[in-house]
Amino acid sequence: MRLPYRNKKVTLWVLFGIIVVTMFLFKFTELRPTCLFKLDATNDLPSQMMRMEKYVTDDNQRSYSYNREMPLIFIGGVPRSGTTLMRAMLDAHPDVRCGQETRVIPRILQLRSHWLKSEKESLRLQEAGITKEVMNSAIAQFCLEIIAKHGEPAPRLCNKDPLTLKMGSYVIELFPNAKFLFMVRDGRATVHSIISRKVTITGFDLSSYRQCMQKWNHAIELMHEQCRDIGKDRCMMVYYEQLVLHPEEWMRNILKFLDVPWNSAVLHHEEFINKPNGVPLSKVERSSDQVIKPVNLEALSKWVGHIPGDVVRDMADIAPMLSVLGYDPYANPPDYGKPDAWVQDNTSKLKANRMLWESKAKQVLQMDSKSDDNNNNNNININNNINSISNNNNNNHNNDENINNKIMTEQQQLLQADQELQQEQELEQEQSQLLLQQHQQQKPKDVITIKQMPSNFNSNNNNNNGKQYVGALEDT
């Protein structure tokens, strides 16, 4: 839902006021070092800036310091590309805290871009003595304050505002030791998820697959170039499909890239949902009902059979970034690879207990809503939800087995519906194969399928000759 122009104007003025106050506090604490924060002079004489140390204490009285030099973790990508799953898996690690999206940081970075683009605003800043260094320091402290106070303290802080990667180069300028995880997913799956879940993104027309694929192509191209400009040592491409197919292999590579010690808890994030120092959920995040489940294959190819035929036919021209990223635009359905055995087992269990997991998802979101209202229910044990469902329905005497018996008829109906859906998809796939045969002669010889790529593939190995995007970029 788009805000009226008047509301947008008010929002911009509020953000402007916050930045001005932050800048004032920075100048004030520079003159009075005993106030607010601990300040240390840096060796950067030209900038004449101060290093601001911030301390936060957890429930165990452990103190953590936060500053611009700390190794922050940023998760970026086009929405519906696996960013929520990634942050949930990292949140399960005892040394990492990501939390939900702030939705503020990308806006403040864009606001800075608007200021610099406007000659009038730039002149006002110059006359006020607000240099680039002062502004960068103020924005960095503002963002750091949001990230640090967005959840429980932890040795490593992480932020998941996907569109922040569009300003990745500037973020690295603010936080020189930060690292990005660039979540990449088959654009066809991403767009289908955006449309089917009615995810509103500025510029995306949810009534048009063609237009959304074009917008996805533009957004992913910007992020891809930003990641390449940042460098492979600071930005790692993570393919959603490969993360789901081979979770342990990829999480080991990811934690190694982030300099975080291995912990098997990242493979079982569903066991830490809404637990203390675990994986907090938000009712405003569209993927909350999905991340309560263990890693599974359900979402990999849901898009197959839902994209209009004319869009399928023109896919290579509409979204050339599919080929750049290693996806075959002519494959419908695609072959992403063979999953690990335990992931396949997770998927089978989910299908056998579909109604049970749907009830669990609803209950989790209801509990999360109550915690938002009361600010008291942060220690919910999700693993006991199934038992609580059975207790409520059978006077506190039924267990999971009794629930399964009660919903057996409904599950059989679902299985029958799944079989009918599968038959429909097979017919659609036959039609897609006909289109594929018609265009097989047009298929580029250098197309690399995602299955052929090694699991540690990172396109940052390409030559760094892409366009440099300076400052913030508009929402796609």
Residue 325: the pLDDT is 98
Residue 46: the pLDDT is 37
Pairing of strands 63-66, 38-41: unpaired
Q: Give the residue among 230, 90, 223, 67 at the shortest CA–CA distance from 147.
A: 67
Is residue 101 flagged as an active site residue?
yes
Selected catalytic residue, list 101, 225, 270, 285: 101
Residue 395: the pLDDT is 45
Residue 441: the pLDDT is 47
* The pTM of the whole model exceeds 0.75: no
Residue 427: the pLDDT is 58
Residue 362: the pLDDT is 76
Residue 50: the pLDDT is 44
Residue 80: the pLDDT is 95
Contacts of 453 (CB under 8 A, 6+ apart): 239, 326
- The residues of the chain scoring below 70 in pLDDT are 1-18, 20-53, 59, 283-287, 364-476
Burial of 2 (0-12, 13-18, 19+ CB in 10 A): exposed
68-102+150-345+357-461 topology per CATH: Rossmann fold (3.40.50)
The dihedral through the CA atoms of 115, 119, 121, 127 has a sign that is: positive
Structure tokens at 18: 């916050």
Domain range summary for the chain, segments of one domain joined by +: 68-102+150-345+357-461
Residue 228: the pLDDT is 97
Contacts of 72 (CB under 8 A, 6+ apart): 147, 157, 158, 159, 175, 177, 178, 179
Contacts of 77 (CB under 8 A, 6+ apart): 83, 162, 165, 182, 183, 184, 185, 223
